[in-house]
Amino acid sequence: MPLSSNHLLGLQGVSKEDLQLILDTAHTFREILDRPIKKVPTLQGKTIVNLFYESSTRTRISFELAEKRLSADAINFAVSGSSVSKGETFKDTIKNIEAMKIDMVIVRHSAAGAPVYLTKICDANIINAGDGTHEHPTQALLDMYSIRQKLGKLEGLKVCIVGDIAHSRVALSNIFGLQTMGAKVSVCGPSTMIPKNIKDLGVEVIYNIDEAIQDNDVLNVLRIQLERNAGEYFPSIREYAKYFGITNERLDKNGKDVLILHPGPINRGVELSSEVADGSNQIILYQVTNGVAIRMAVLYLLGTLN
């Protein structure tokens, strides 16, 4: 059964069947990553461009590895060192890259909607690798896959997304994906970082982190995005850490064996203490490993559509 779209722009509106297909396909690819020779010929002859207009460590390397594991030709574009510094527009850049005959574009951009715009001007399959504060679909897919692997299901689970909800593309993609898969999603953070209309998405809002720990099976703890001026939404980093930071004392006090995810990069000592970031409740590097399998699945499902 193929995916029902030529692109992966976000998880809003993606059907349960498509999400299930991506998660199940990722599971078949996950085993390849543990082989001595981690390569299959599935996308041989396909050319994939990684178009990163914003910084990235995990997503960029994960996509590039996934492309190489599937034997595609991977081309990396970074703004620094490109003709963007000479004033070339986003449209001209992509039209020139497309003219070199490419099949797929992975795009990260600070502007929400940049991936959708690419679908209007370019014939390649487009995958959103994070667009502004809008969506980061492959991050949410790898989060869902990791939770499903650890807890055996998504249906009926209680998942709380903690922190800077207002600036987070990870939060929105998680809300859409998890709800479609039957999880009950809540958010927790300072009131200044919770969008006013978030309840319209069917999400419960919790303002007390101890309550969030007690009431949930999973906490997906987000990074405070200081590069998007998130530090202006609370009095100080120390105060944020005091009221919303996850520490061992807080976990012990609530006596709850909650599963902790974080998309990375971590602000150690802010949203997670270092003990928690390296502790037994968290699955942060497990998420990173699974991310390669998720991206292989998405590349495979889109790359073999046509």
Which residues contact ligand CP by CB under 6 A?
56-59, 130, 139, 263-265
Q: Which residue number, 137 or 245, has a Cβ lying nearer to ligand CP?
A: 137
Geometric angle at alpha carbon 292, from 1 and 219, rounded to 5°: 95
Helices 169-180 and 137-151: crossing angle, nearest 10°? Answer: 50
Q: Which residue number, 129 or 302, has a Cβ lying nearer to ligand CP?
A: 129
Q: Which residue number, 148 or 169, has a Cβ lying nearer to ligand CP?
A: 169
DSSP string, 200-247: GGT-EEE--HHHHHHH-SEEEEPPP-GGGTGGGGSS-HHHHHHHH-B-
Residue 291 C-beta: closest distance to ligand CP, Å: 8
Residue 110 C-beta: closest distance to ligand CP, Å: 12
Structure tokens at 10: 């976000």
Are the CB atoms for 105 and 51 separated by under 8 Å? Answer: yes
Residue 60 C-beta: closest distance to ligand CP, Å: 6
**What would you report as the CA-atom Rg of the chain, rounded to the nearest whole angstrom?**
19
Residue 210 C-beta: closest distance to ligand CP, Å: 26
Residues 6 or more apart whose Cβ sits within 8 Å of residue 284 = 260, 261, 262, 264, 266, 277
Geometric angle at alpha carbon 241, from 197 and 110, rounded to 5°: 50
Give the whole-angstrom CA distance, residue 182 versus residue 92: 42
Residue 256 C-beta: closest distance to ligand CP, Å: 25
Q: Which residue number, 225 or 273, has a Cβ lying nearer to ligand CP?
A: 225
Q: Which residue number, 207 or 286, has a Cβ lying nearer to ligand CP?
A: 286
Q: Which residue number, 21 or 288, has a Cβ lying nearer to ligand CP?
A: 288
Residue 2 C-beta: closest distance to ligand CP, Å: 27
